[in-house]
Amino acid sequence: MENITPFTWRRLKNRYNLVGKKCTNCSSVFFSPRMICSYCNPPMETTDFKFSGNGEVVSYSLVNVPPEEHSALAPYVIAIIKLKEGAKLTAQIVDCNEKDVRIGMPVEAIFRKITEDSTGLISYGFKFRPLLNGKN
């Protein structure tokens, strides 16, 4: 996409600060934000919930053929990470080699460049690395 300003801005706090959603009724947590709980009947509203950034690797893969927007960084490790609080998300794992990653490995969220559009606008957000400071 050429100009992704509103698209990237809309999810700033989600990407920067790992803010997801929590159901106001049943306490289920979701990382990818959704307006209503997937489980409650009748539909119940969700509210902002900040995740700590600690999690573990559920699965991962070294991506050699990237989508255009990520071609500068390839190859990189992509992973599905289960956050300590229960929800899962998809993110890159950096600052290590693929062979160092394993299913179950504890990881922590960090702040990195995700992508840049053709106007030069940079989208920042979460990536993960093997536990370094473990302060959360």
Tell whether residue 115 is a contact of another protein (CB under 8 A).
yes
β pairing state of 29-30 and 54-63: unpaired
Give the range of 21-29, 41-49, 126-134 binding another protein by CB under 8 A.
126-134
Distances (CA, A) of 103 to 41, 54, 79, 122, 127: 34, 15, 10, 31, 17
Number of Cβ atoms within 10 Å of the Cβ of 31: 24
Residues comprising the chain, all counted: 136
Q: Does 51 bind another protein (CB under 8 A)?
A: no
Taking CB under 8 A as the rule, which mask of x and - marks residues 73-112 in contact with another protein? x--x-xxxx------xxxxx-xx--x----x------xxx
In angstroms, how far is CA 67 from the centroid of its own chain? 17
Residue ranges in contact with another protein by CB under 8 A: 7, 11-13, 16-17, 30-32, 38, 58-73, 76, 78-81, 88-92, 94-95, 98, 103, 110-115, 122-125, 127, 132-133, 135
